[in-house]
Amino acid sequence: MNILVSGGTGYIGSHTVVELIAAGHSVVIVDNLVNSKIETLDKIEKISGVKPTFYHVDCTDLDKIEAIFKLHTFDGIIHFAGLKAVGESVTIPLAYYYNNLVSTINLSQLALKYKVNKFVFSSSATVYGDQKVPFSEDMALLPTTNPYGETKAMSERILRDTASVNKDFHVSILRYFNPVGAHSSGLIGESPNGIPNNLMPYIQKVANKKLPILSVYGNDYDTPDGTGVRDYIHVVDLAKGHVLAIEKLVDPVEIYNLGSGDGVSVLELLTAFETANKIEIPYKIVDRRAGDIASSYADASKAYKKLGWKTHKTLIDMCKDTWKFEKSNK
Ligand code: NAD
Ligand code: WQD
């Protein structure tokens, strides 16, 4: 297939591009580089032997995106492009609604116009809100606590409504749990600028002595050790899920959780990182972070049944690959 990957120089997008190429697909990337670097293309080439065609274009710019559809014939679209910082979305909601929703609307409109009938969308476990774990795809979606989460729920709705009246247009909605880790080459991964919001990037900066100590947000949750429980998934396993999702997309709307199905606490992740990399991570317990829930993990059985997909990488792999990437990108 010839696949348009929006956000393909980003964290999950770049790993997915590598797996798409390995599976024999051609890739065209569109990214405005608001949260990624052009050098990622060279790294993708080093890993896969192929430098994908790249357009430095914003997905909210309909005319410029349409120009790309006029130059290429696509069999499918994988739409990663979006802003993703939960806290920032609370302070600049309009920027998040505009960027994430207009991008999804533009790409869907062009998919219909140019008869690109396979559309895979990056959603998030955040759409489940706070309900009983494990989360399964047939559960109702609850309002999230932030505009970012709402852009995911709204994008899902836009795509479902579009697919329901356009019979040839098939949509796969992938709800990611907590992606972490990096490519085993150490070439691509995630290393945010400034102070990270998410746990694994924070741990890797403490390990690298760029930050002095990890703050653990609360140890009084109703979880085995009192700290928050999440479902961490290695980004390479996640990337492979996208390849299967687009290759096997046949129903009008398919929704899959992409997670390991295992709940891991903050302290368990911290200990795994220490064990995997033989580095001590200093930490202190502080107040809960506003908007956090106690537990989030997947019922991942549907993706296994329908796509034959499951995770293979362990928590130790996630920690080792994260550290390898952090060290090689000092
Ligand atoms: P990322 O920021 O590394 O990648 C997103 C890419 O999209 C970046 O390269 C950015 O430059 C680009 N982009 C943003 N807005 C754009 C626009 N208007 N036009 C063109 N390019 C644009 O993030 P990621 O972690 O790789 O996430 C990819 C997708 O997965 C996002 O939609 C995100 O919301 C979703 N997601 C991520 C996580 C996570 O924890 N990382 C979890 C669930 C869902
Ligand atoms: C994990 C656990 C924190 C940082 C977020 C988004 C979600 C999705 C994935 C995009 C929690 C604790 C964290 C720290 C800590 N992204 N923590 N100290 O909140 O599950 O999910 O990223 O879709 O939408 O909300 O991930 O990594 O921020 O937190 O103790 O410095 O680590 O309280 O229990 P989260 P996270």
Which residue range forms the structural domain that includes residue 142?
2-180+232-260+298-311
Give the confidence band of 192 by pLDDT, cuts at 50, 70, 90.
Answer: confident
Tens of pLDDT, residues 310-322:
999 999 999 999 9
Provide the mean pLDDT of the chain. 97
110 pLDDT above the threshold of 70: yes
Average pLDDT over residues 60-79: 98
Ligand 2 nearest atom to the CA of residue 196, by list position:
31
Per the structure, the count of domains in the chain is: 1
Say yes or no to pLDDT of 330 above 80.
no
207 falls within a domain: no
> Residue 107 — very low, low, confident or very high, per pLDDT cuts 50/70/90?
very high
> Which ligand has the nearest atom to the CA of 202?
2
Q: Is residue 69 part of a domain?
A: yes
Cβ(145) – ligand 1 distance below 6 Å? no
* Residue 218: pLDDT band with limits 50, 70, 90: very high
Using CA positions, which residue lies closest to atom 28 of ligand 2? Answer: 198
Q: Is residue 138 part of a domain?
A: yes
Runs of H (alpha helix) within the chain? 11-22, 40-48, 62-71, 86-91, 93-113, 147-165, 199-207, 235-247, 266-277, 301-307, 315-328
Residue 5 banded pLDDT, cuts 50, 70, 90: very high
Q: Could you identify the atom of ligand 1 that is nearest to the CA of residue 126?
A: 43
37: in domain: yes
**In this structure, what CATH number is given to the domain that contains residue 102?**
3.40.50.720
Residue 118 lies in a domain: yes
**Ligand 1 pocket test: which of 30, 36, 84, 188 has the largest number of ligand atoms within 8 Å of its C-beta?**
84
Within-domain flag for 7: yes
| Catalytic residue IDs | 148
For residues 35 and 256, is the Cβ–Cβ distance under 8 A?
Answer: no
Nearest ligand atom owner, CA of 223: 2
Report the predicted TM-score, pTM, of the whole model to 2 decimal places: 0.99
Confidence band (pLDDT; 50, 70, 90) for 329?
Answer: confident
Verify whether ligand 2 is closer than 6 Å to residue 124 (CB atom): yes
How many C-beta atoms surround the C-beta of residue 70 within 10 A?
A: 9
Tell me the CA–centroid distance for residue 307 and ligand 2, in Å: 27
Inside any domain, residue 109: yes
**Contact, 113 vs 64, CB < 8 A?**
no
Backbone angles phi, psi at 255, to 5 degrees: -125, 130
Closest CA to 12 of 32, 40, 42: 40
Residue nearest to atom 30 of ligand 1 (CA): 122
Mean pLDDT of 243-271: 98
Ligand 2 atom nearest 201 alpha carbon = 27
Residue 282 included in any domain: no
Residues in the chain: 330
Does ligand 2 lie within 6 Å of residue 205's CB atom?
no
